Amino acid sequence: MPIHPTAIIDPSSEIDPTATVGPYALIGPRVTVGPGTEIMGHAFIDKDTTIGKDCRVFPFASLGADPQDMKYAGERSSLVVGDGVTVRESATIHRGTKGGGGITTIGDKALIMATVHVAHDCRIGREVILSSYAVLAGHVIVEDNAIISGSSAVHQFVRLGRYSFVGGMTGAAKDVPPFMIVAGVRDKDIVVTPNLIGLRRWGFSKESLEAIVGAHKIIHNHRPLAEVLAEADAAFPDSGEVKAITSFYRGSERGVYR
């Protein structure tokens, strides 16, 4: 049976005929559930939430609840979950706020593990992995293919570059460069190094890896930032990865780990 008789679904919501809703699931108003998606028993989907196709929402997950923001005044906002996303047990993902554009987004094929918290106005990219007990404050941007390890915390307005990796139990209070690993308790303990194992697994070429390592060696020192970024660009003028790194540093508002 696609929809269990004990599930409660607001009449304003739209559930695709090929989706399934398990026992005692609760789906609030103005929710859309796409084809092939499975909402398991005891899951809670609050109002103004859109879930794409072929997703899996496990028991006791909570999607689209009101944001935990003192400035939130009950305005309409939304949560949009892409295709092929997995949300495991007891994870919580909140809607956006007026101050953050009114929307929280989860990219295609993201894996949100058990007990993860994604706060209001976060933007999660494609194929991102958020490991158990990771917590993201409001307005965090996680770019494609990034991984956040277990029990890590990300400060509000922080941006994590694509293919970056945050080590377990890390407190990230600054932006994390693309293609890099950061690990440590707080700023003074943070270690930054190229994510070579992860990049090899993703099929990056030897030339790309050499350029990333070379740029990292230039940037990761105490010389003025503008100077080392210009030097990295000059040393690797044909590397798209190096351009991504230097552009990320130049565009940061919180400052980037070096």
Please list, in sequence order, all residues whose beta carbon lies within 8 angstroms of the beta carbon of residue 234, skipping any fewer than 6 positions away.
none
**pLDDT score, position 191:** 86
**pLDDT score, position 186:** 74
CA distance 156 to 175: 10
Residue 160, beta-bridge partner list: 142, 176
Asked whether the whole model's pTM tops 0.95, one would answer yes
Q: What value does the mean pLDDT take over residues 223-241?
A: 97
Q: What value does the mean pLDDT take over residues 168-186?
A: 94
How do residues 83-106 score in pLDDT, each as one tens digit? 999 999 999 999 999 999 999 999
Of the residues 64, 83, 100, 120, only one is catalytic, namely: 120
Taken in order of first residue, the domains within the chain and their CATH numbers are: 8-197 (2.160.10.10), 203-251 (no CATH)
Instruction: Indicate the SS3 state at residue 214.
Output: helix
155 in active site: no
How do residues 181-229 score in pLDDT, each as one tens digit? 999 987 667 889 999 999 999 999 999 999 999 999 999 988 999 999 9
pLDDT confidence bin for 49, thresholds 50/70/90: very high
121 in active site: yes
**pLDDT score, position 185:** 81
120 in active site: yes
Mean per-residue pLDDT over the chain, rounded: 97
**pLDDT score, position 190:** 87
Of the residues 46, 108, 121, 175, only one is catalytic, namely: 121
Of the residues 82, 138, 161, 198, only one is catalytic, namely: 138
pLDDT at residue 1 above 70? no
CA-closest candidate to residue 68, choices 44, 101, 35, 96: 96
- Residue pair 186/203 in contact by the 8 Å Cβ criterion: no
